[in-house]
Amino acid sequence: MRILLVEDNLPLAESLAKALSQAGFSVDSMHNGMDADHVLRTQDYALVILDLALPKLDGWEVLKRLRARRQQVPVLILTAHGSVEDRVKGLNLGADDYLAKPFDLAELEARVRALIRRSHGRDSAQLECGPLGYDSVGRVFTLRGEALSLTPREHAVLEVLMLMSGKAVSKEALLEKIFGLDEVSSADAIEIYVHRLRKKLADSGVVIVTLRGLGYLLEAK
């Protein structure tokens, strides 16, 4: 899943981006509010991690503009100021969660995963589609109780389809949700990953259906 990290403290931004990448996320980093506002107008993210004290355009204004455009992407605010007034202001502007600095990386990752699940209507960390299971905390797929061996890209594609199970996901949406701005990607790559996943799910009772003109749908037979 692709997330946007907006943090002007470069050492902290690099540290967070590295940790989140190691946790399986594709991370785009912006270091000022103007750049963040621009990419949010043109890119699709599963979640935004937003610092408030940003140059050029502060986090409050980035959030305000985002919600004025009726974009529903979850927003987790990071700030050095954890006052009740700031939390209330952020939530009233449309933030989904709030984390005061300093914070524990494990807590940040847990909040990110919880917000992404909830944005897809999934409250439980354990997801199921027939015999296919997904532990979104441990990031492990199982098929009939056995761990399913996947490459990182296969895992990313299947994770999106699992979160969206019952709904069609277009190739374009998969590209935007998986690949970062600096990564080379194409619709052909998505077809390759889907083909590989179909082979690994063959005769399992779970299929990836192609809906012409709509995209891919994960469903149990």
Domain extents for the chain?
2-119, 126-220
| Structure confidence by residue, pLDDT tens digits, 150-200 | 998 999 999 999 988 788 999 888 988 888 887 777 788 899 999 999 999
Smallest CA-to-CA distance from 23 within 169, 132, 119, 137 is with: 137
pLDDT of residue 54 exceeding 80, the answer is yes
Other beta carbons within 10 angstroms of residue 194's beta carbon come to 20
| Structure confidence by residue, pLDDT tens digits, 59-93 | 999 999 999 999 999 999 988 766 777 778 888 88
What average pLDDT does range 15-34 have in this prediction? 93
Terminal CA-CA length for the chain: 26
What average pLDDT does range 24-53 have in this prediction? 94
The helix/strand/coil state of 127 is strand
What is the CATH code for 126-220? 1.10.10.10
Smallest CA-to-CA distance from 40 within 202, 134, 142, 176 is with: 176
Taking the C-alpha atoms of residue 107 and residue 81, their distance in angstroms, rounded to an integer, is: 18
What whole-number percentage of the chain has pLDDT above 90? 62
What average pLDDT does range 41-47 have in this prediction? 92
pLDDT score, position 206: 93
Highest mean pLDDT among 67-76, 111-120, 133-142: 67-76
pLDDT of residue 135 exceeding 70, the answer is yes
pLDDT score, position 11: 95
> Which CATH class for the 2-119 domain?
alpha beta
- 83 or 112: whose pLDDT is higher? 112
Q: Indicate if 126-220 has the same CATH topology as 2-119.
A: no
pLDDT of residue 10 exceeding 80, the answer is yes
- 90 or 13: whose pLDDT is higher? 13
Mean per-residue pLDDT of the chain: 90
